[in-house]
Structure 1
Amino acid sequence: MARLVLFRAGMALIAMLLAAGFVFLLIHFSPTDPVVLALGDGAAPAAVEAKRRELGLDLPMPVQFVNWLGGILQGDFGTSFFTHRPVADSIVERLPVSLSLLAVGTFFVITLGLGLGFMAGLRPNSWVDNLVTSAVSLALATPSFWLALMLGVVFAVHWRILPVAGYVPLTQDPAAWLKCMLLPAFSLALHGIAVVGRHMRGAVIDVMNAPFIEAARARGTPRSRIVRRYVLKNALLPVLPMIGVQVALLVATSAVMEKVFILPGLGTLMVDSVISSDFPMLQGAILVVAALLITINLLVDIGLGLLDPRVRPQ
């Protein structure tokens, strides 16, 4: 198991270096000069050259990358062109919001997706299965942003039981934090719930029809023990990678929900940075999002290795 963790961690480190290289090149392939953005269009040529030397942009590109990566490792993401604040400070302020949205959305994907798929798979062609299958099809056809607007109208405008905008930190008021997260997290997770539920249903049906399950039944093993000991673990094997993909999609698409529900997270920060051409802020936000995606993939790989020894490196 230790060999699996080291191997996957090494692959994650390589992926992180590649992501850092891509993020670094953003500023060099941009048609806009970042120094002009930092100083303004009316800056004198002498001031532009001095700022270029200050930022180290007059050095060879490999040297710039090493210096930039060294600063990142020390927590220095640069200074925002727009707010003139350290990028790291803005990321630290926004990161808890995005992590909260990701955590609650992941909880919905895992609990509802696996639970509904498991119930439907245990009783194929029953009313439970038909109901779950219909709900999954409807969820896959429903745009997340439209659902977010409709949920906001129902629960915030008409019933007034959940807020439609804003964020309350978990440490300040856990109940208010949860209320702020319910609508955006469920809207964000709906597609993932449907995909995971559909795959879990198929996996459970396949396992229930497997020869070793038939052998367990022939030995007189109670159905409850078969379900607990054999079905759940074996059905999770093909579904776990899909959970990782769906959680990664939560990260990638969270900016939409953050905009709809006015949440000050990393997604909103990235969108605002693109609009204002704030390259240091955009670089830092993309790098943190890439780190989240790579970490999710690493955890899924390790979890899959725990469940299935066949995927472990020999």
Structure 2
Amino acid sequence: MLRYIAYRSVVAIFLVWVVVTAVFLLLHLIPGDPAELLLSQGSIAADPAAVAALREQMGLNAPIWQQYLDHLGGVLTGDLGVSFRDGAPVVGQIAQRLPRTLEVIITASIIATGIGIPLGSYAAIHAGSRTDSVISFLASAALSTPVFVVGSVVILIFAQKLKILPAGGYVPFSEDPFGHIQLLLLPAGTVALALLAVITRMSRASVLEVLARDYIRTARAKGLPRRRILKRHVVRNALIPVLTILGLEMGTLIGGTVLVEFVFNWPGLSGYLVNAVDSRDYPEVVGIVMTISILFVFLNLLVDVINAALDPRISLVRG
């Protein structure tokens, strides 16, 4: 098991390096000069002397390999540089916004997992029944509905009609715990709906696959109680693909909650990334993407370790 964890950790570090390097190079291949973009005002071109001075200040006149080495050294020491736009440290901005995005994702994941796994398992156990058809239809409908439509609908229902939750905004938990939770519920619920559909469908498919295996038929033939079979043999083995897809979805959501943050005016990391890309702020973009990549890889590493704990054969095969 320890050998397997060490192997997966080395692979994770390598993947993070590859992603950070690729993003850094791709940003420098995009046409346009960030210094010129920052100094331009609408259709008025920037002064060439001012552009040259700003490029020197940003370090953009150095060779790309030198910029890469400087950036890589900063990353290794925890220094992601400062924003081209306002000179604020990138690490500080990420540290401020990342917990807000993670809060939405973790809350949504808890809701989706707590409802989706039992719901999908129930549908699989009663496969072919009317209940199974209803659950499958609702999951497909939720999965195919755009997130901005869901967000608009929940605002209309819970904020405008029922007036039981605020439409959007943000307040720190330390200032107003109850108000913070109220503001969190709608964006987290919006994200949870699509994730719930994925978890439900995956749970149903996984449980159906496990129920069809030989050792389940053997357990039934031995006369083991149905509850014991489901608890000890079906659920544990069916959780492995569900946890895998949950880890992938959570990693994707870290940088993919842009519309949710926009609809509910939630100041998270995704909106920060969009603004950074729009202004060609290299330190911000590279810092945010690197953070998302590390979290994505860490989540998948964590899922691999949990899966290996549930099924030791995984560590023997892959380690």
TM-score, with normalisation over the residues of structure 2?
A: 0.89
Query: CA contact under 8 A between 2:203 and 2:242: conserved in structure 1?
Result: yes
Aligned-pair distance for 1:11? Answer: 0.8
Check conservation: 1:148, 1:260, Cα contact below 8 A.
yes
Matches within 5 A, 1:208-247: 208-247=211-250
Contact 2:38 2:279 in 1 (8 A): no
SS in 2 for 1:253: coil
Aligned partners of 2:286 and 2:47: how far apart in 1? 24
Matched, 1:2 2:2: yes
Determine the structure 2 residue equivalent to 1:17.
Answer: 17
Alpha-carbon distance between aligned partners in 2 of 1:246 and 1:172, rounded to the nearest angstrom: 31
Equivalent residues, number: 313
1:88–1:158 distance in 2 versus 1, CA, 3 Å: same
- Spell out the pairing of 1:266-305 with structure 2 (5 A cutoff): 266-305=269-308
Task: Name the CA distance, whole Å, in 2 between partners of 1:82 and 1:238.
Answer: 43
Contact persistence 1:105–1:250 (CA under 8 A): no
C-alpha spacing 1:43/1:103, structure 2 compared with 1 (3 Å): same
Establish whether residue 250 from structure 1 lines up as the match of residue 245 from structure 2.
no
The separation in 2 between residues aligned to 1:170 and 1:14, in whole angstroms, is 37
Give 3-state SS (helix, strand or coil) of 2:265's partner: coil
Aligned partners of 2:148 and 2:259 also within 8 Å: yes
- Could you tell me which residue of structure 2 aligns to residue 110 of structure 1? 113
Residue 43 of structure 1: CA displacement? 4.4
* Letter of the 2:287 counterpart: G
Partner of 2:35: 35
Going from structure 1 to structure 2, the CA distance change for 1:215 and 1:156 (only over 3 Å counts) comes to same
Shift of 1:221: 1.4
Superposed CA offset, 1:139-163 (max 9, x none): 1232221011000110011111112
Return the letter of the residue paired with 1:108: I
Where do residues 1-314 of structure 1 align in structure 2 (5 Å cutoff)? 1-37=1-37, 42-43=46-47, 45=49, 48-312=51-315, 313-314=318-319
Measured after TM superposition, the shift of residue 249 of structure 1 is: 2.9
1:206 positional shift: 2.5
Equivalents in 2 of 1:153, 1:38: separation in Å? Answer: 39
Q: Is the 8 A contact 1:189 1:250 kept in 2?
A: no
Percent pairwise identity: 36
- The separation in 1 between residues aligned to 2:137 and 2:46, in whole angstroms, is 61
The Cα shift of 1:49 comes to: 4.5
User: For 1:248 and 1:70, how far apart are their aligned partners in 2?
Assistant: 26
Q: Once the 2 structures are TM-superposed, how far is the Cα of residue 246 of structure 1 from its aligned partner?
A: 2.1
Displacement after TM superposition at 1:274 (Å): 2.7
SS at 2:256 equivalent: helix
Higher alpha-carbon deviation: 137-146 or 5-14:
137-146
Task: State the Cα distance separating 1:7 from its structure 2 match.
Answer: 0.9
Provide the secondary structure at the position in 2 that maps to 1:102: helix
Greater alpha carbon shift after TM alignment, 263-272 vs 292-301:
292-301
Q: Conserved in 2, the CA contact under 8 Å of 1:80 and 1:278?
A: yes
**Cα shift at 1:56:** 3.4
CA distance in 1, matches of 2:57, 2:86: 18
Shift of 1:106: 1.5
Question: Bigger CA drift: 12-21 or 71-80?
Answer: 71-80
Once structures 1 and 2 are overlaid, which stretch shifts more, 29-38 or 212-221?
A: 29-38
Counterparts of 1:158 and 1:138 in 2: how far apart (Å)?
23
